[in-house]
Amino acid sequence: MDLKNTAYDAIVVGSGPNGLAAAITMQQQGLSVLLIEGKDTIGGGLRTAELTLPGFHHDICSAIHPMAIASPFFASLPLRQHGLEFIQPGLPAAHPFDDGTAAFLSRSLEETAEALGPDLQAYFDLIGPLVRDWEKLVGNILSPLKFPEHPLLLAGFGFKALQSAEMISKRFSTEKARGLWAGMTAHSIQPLSNLATAAIGMVLSAVGHVHGWPVPKGGSQNVADALAAHFVSLGGEIQTGWMLKSLDELPKAKSVLLDLTPKQLLKLAPDKFSALYKWQLGRYRYGMGVFKVDWALSSPIPFTAEECRRAGTVHLGNTFGETARTEQQTARNIHAEKPFVLLAQSSVFDDSRAPEGKHTAWAYCHVPNGSVKDMTEAIEKQVERFAPGFRDTILAKHTMNTAEIESYNPNYIGGDINGGIIDLGQLYTRPALRISPYRTSAKGIYICSSSTPPGGGVHGMCGYYAAKQALSDIFNLKTPNLNSNDS
């Protein structure tokens, strides 16, 4: 097909979860939609490959998917009919300590709280209300700033969520509870002293109790494949292997939705935006990067704490103080000697990931944006610290520094997997201060990446809301509500 001479209602550039969500939302309205992907396979951060040895399937970026299963948009789609199956680990997450014990996040709020002993009530008071009211609040938590259907409930959540992780940690009296909290909040990829770092810890903890932290059977690529299959079943069209150098290369379209970050927008369309909008995009801030290691293993990781052997995700940071210190060092462009390490061991629960009796594991630590320092030794020391004998199980490994991560996915500027730091200054004003964060200054051009609210994570909500805006602006169409709080 001669794409250059074909006209579309909408073109979506980028096939990460947000690009796919935007494309599906537009296609659901019966429009003609083309989805363009620069790489040869769709998925963005949702790809799985044999990075180490034949038969060992590794998730290249995202591996654990609490926000995918919690996403109102994904829940509205028949993805299971397209082959997507989630597997729940025995425990969503665990956090080991040097004394051989571990704190853990269970599907049960009560079990998690009771294991924290003296901090049982403090944990209930912090996470319990969000678990109880999750279905009423999710429409506001995973959305742009808008008037809430339940303002008092949202205010109660916001009062705690807008505090720093460090401030909230003072609610706990034990190192066990504080350490568990540190691991949850370190997903914010910023110093734990920053305001609003409590939000990610609260949300991830609550989602763990409400929905779990599952792994997609066979790998994260299957999430992208299911979304793409649904898009095509609706009549959508996908073109891979087309890395745009300019938006002028695109076929004619009434609307263009870009699953890209501000730096890429400025590169692809330097003359299409107003001076003010370009100035705002130029001021957009990216956060810390990641250094990642994938291992092919002869056996499961021999964690000392039994809870860690049962968990899909393991946070390696020891105490709150140690985790907070290393995250602060990284934010100051210092490579931590004992970095906080986020580790996933999907093959323990999904035997399709590796040959019989063998395993895979995936881990990353935070590093200064743009760092090319090899952190393999530091990461492996952290794993060995809590799992003596780990190194004896390694059959092969594959590493990616921030430059290689950005080369793999251009959205990961300097290794920033969140599409820009999600601190208080960019929580709702990403990528620019506008009435709608999804509209650019150019008519018909929208941004639908994680550089828009609600930010990073595999949930597709940025793409959904960007498409919703485009449908209203360009086509005078209103999308069906995902839930009672989607207005």
Per-residue pLDDT, 482:
82
b (16+ CB within 10 A) / e for 372-393: eeebbebbbbbbebbbeebeeb
Domain ranges of the chain: 3-48+77-84+216-284+419-475
What is the fold, at CATH topology level, of the domain defined by 3-48+77-84+216-284+419-475?
Answer: FAD/NAD(P)-binding domain (3.50.50)
Per-residue pLDDT, 484:
42
**8 Å CB contact between 93 and 208:** yes
Task: Please provide residue 95's backbone torsions phi and psi, each rounded to the nearest 5 degrees.
Answer: -140, 100
Per-residue pLDDT, 79:
97
Per-residue pLDDT, 429:
86
b (16+ CB within 10 A) / e for 401-422: bbeebbebbbbbbbbbbbbbbb
116-162 pLDDT per residue, tens:
999 999 999 999 999 999 999 999 999 998 888 899 999 999 999 99
Rounded Cα–Cα distance for residues 470 and 464 (Å): 10
Q: Which residues contact 297 (CB under 8 A, 6 or more apart)?
A: 347, 354, 358, 359, 360, 361, 393, 394, 395
Q: Flag residues of the chain having pLDDT under 70.
A: 1-2, 483-487
How far is Cα of residue 59 from the mean position of the Cα atoms in its chain?
13
Closest CA to 369 of 420, 414, 419, 417: 414
Per-residue pLDDT, 487:
46
Supply the pTM of this predicted model. 0.96
Closest CA to 336 of 294, 381, 391: 381
Distances (CA, A) of 299 to 162, 275, 303: 42, 57, 12
SS (H, E, C) the chain: CCHHHCCEEEEEECCCHHHHHHHHHHHCCCCCEEEECCCCCCCCCCCEECCCCCCCCEECCCCCCHHHHHCHHHHCCCHHHHCCCEECCCEEEEEECCCCCEEEECCCHHHHHHCCHHHHHHHHHHHHHHHHCHHHHHHHHCCCCCCCCCHHHHHHHHHHHCCCHHHHHCCCCCHHHHHHHHHHHHHHCCCCCCCCHHHHHHHHHHHHHHCCCCEECCCCHHHHHHHHHHHHHCCCEEECCCCCCCHHHCCCEEEEEECCCHHHHHHHCCCCCCHHHHHHHHCCCCCCEEEEEEEEECCCCCCCCHHHHCEEEEEECCCHHHHHHHHHHHHCCCCCCCCCEEEECHHHCCHHHCCCCCEEEEEEEEECCCCCCCCHHHHHHHHHHHCCCHHHHEEEEEEECHHHHHHHCCCCHHHCCCCCCCCHHHCCCCCCCCCCCCECCCCCEEECCCCCCCCCCCCCHHHHHHHHHHHHHHHCCCCCCCCCCCC
58 bridge partner residues: 49
Query: Residue 175 corresponds to which amino acid?
Result: E
Rounded Cα–Cα distance for residues 205 and 210 (Å): 9
Per-residue pLDDT, 1:
57
